[in-house]
Amino acid sequence: MRRYRSFVLGDPILFGLVVGLAMFGIAMIYSAGVLDVPDKTVTGAWRQQLIWFMLALMIVPFILRVPIGWLEWAAQPAYAVALLMLVATLFFGGGEGTAASTKSWLTVGPLHLQPSEVAKIATALMLARVLGEWREPPKTLWGLWKPIVVVMLPMGLVMLQPDLGSALVFASILVWCLFWAGTPLSTIFFLVSPILSLFLSISWQVWGVYIVLMLVLLLRRDAFISEKATIWLANAMAGAAALPLWNKLQPYQKNRFMVFLDPMIDPRGAGYNLIQSRVAIGSGGWLGRGWLHGPQKRLAFLPEQHTDFIFSVIGEELGFIGVLAVLGCFGFIFWRLVKIAERSNDPFASLVPIGIFGSWFAHVLINVGMTVGIMPVTGIPLPFISYGGSFLLVNLLAMAVIQRVAAETGRAR
């Protein structure tokens, strides 16, 4: 009986949704390869995705056997291995797709691995272990130094690749885990405020108002003077560093930000991807053009249609109803993750689903946002749907970990 229970899914509905999304993703990747002018790379992508999917399903039963205590112990070595992989990527890595000029991928024989995806899950586990040791949330920013270091190490290595999109995912994992661990919202706000200052510095008038308001808020904050001064100086330095950082960006990164503001600045260059994505999604209407029949996709006007812009294919072929169904499915997955976390009495087990939630939430938000033009194009894939074998494998194994958490803390209802 004990042997049987080790394979019981903690939340069968959640697992079914994830597996269903992965199978739907394989179908959409197949559709993305149905072109009037065949492209061998895109046409055969669905077969490789299917192989990774089957491999993940074979490994899942073994993950379901691993007790939560073992996962907590393995968090440190997994985190260390992930950091070593990120360091190796800086020396031996290469780029693919819209991130061809970055060092984001490691090639091991016939396999292409993206260490940043492994690092996201490893960081979520390590962060859950660190925050799980809290007796009570710290009342000052100085008390957050451990979780900040845990996240900043892989985040900094990813930024050196450079991969800004994945770096934002690490920030999302940190924010959601801190929130779930009981950190006051005001403390989280002041922690991320330098990032906000960096983006607002695009307009010196807006940034000037912001920095004055920040000074007022800090004067009203009940904290040490050293903490207040550090926060304000960090915001001021972030604003002052905006121009030097902009000058250090690669040309393609600058173009992505510029076309985000106005894609017609370079309609045949950097703005081409966004323009074609909007056209594809808009042409789908309510019910879409039908599976396999998207004209923008078939004529190869839509770039990276099987990876970064798979959501555009969904919008073109399945229309608003299809897009709504996919987003609703993701929303339901996020809700189930939160319910699993709520039911756990163990701090580590409760934080693991939230860390993975933070990763998937950022991926969905950024990927969907960039296809419709409300976020810059950053090369972030859509979980379970975009082509990417190692990405699919890591996320399905993360789901297996969540199933183990749910099984040990009581079946989710």
Q: Which helix (H) or strand (E) holds 364?
A: helix 347-372
| Rama region for 11: left / alpha / beta (φ>0; ψ in -120 to 50; rest) | beta
| pLDDT interval class at 10 (50, 70, 90) | confident
- For the cut 60, the answer to whether the pLDDT of residue 398 exceeds it is yes
Beta carbons of 276 and 296 less than 8 angstroms apart: yes
The three-class DSSP label of residue 115 is helix
| pLDDT interval class at 177 (50, 70, 90) | very high
Mean pLDDT of 41-69: 90
Residue among 344, 363, 329 at smallest CA distance from 401: 344
pLDDT tens digits for 258-279? 766 667 776 666 677 788 888 8
The confidence score (pLDDT) of residue 337 equals 95
| pLDDT interval class at 79 (50, 70, 90) | very high
Distance CA 84, CA 391 (A): 18
Single-letter amino acid code for the residue at 16:
G
- For the cut 50, the answer to whether the pLDDT of residue 329 exceeds it is yes
Report the residue count for the chain. Answer: 413
| pLDDT interval class at 126 (50, 70, 90) | very high
- For the cut 80, the answer to whether the pLDDT of residue 1 exceeds it is no
Q: Which helix (H) or strand (E) holds 124?
A: helix 115-132
Number of structural domains found in the chain? 1
DSSP at 325: H
- For the cut 90, the answer to whether the pLDDT of residue 336 exceeds it is yes
DSSP at 361: H
Domain enclosing residue 38, as ranges: 2-409
Q: Which residues, 6 or more positions from 88, have their beta carbon under 8 angstroms from its beta carbon?
A: 106, 115
User: Among 57-61, 275-279, 342-346, where is mean pLDDT lowest?
Assistant: 275-279
- For the cut 50, the answer to whether the pLDDT of residue 125 exceeds it is yes
| Sign, CA torsion 226/227/230/235 | negative
Mean pLDDT of 377-390: 88
| pLDDT interval class at 99 (50, 70, 90) | low
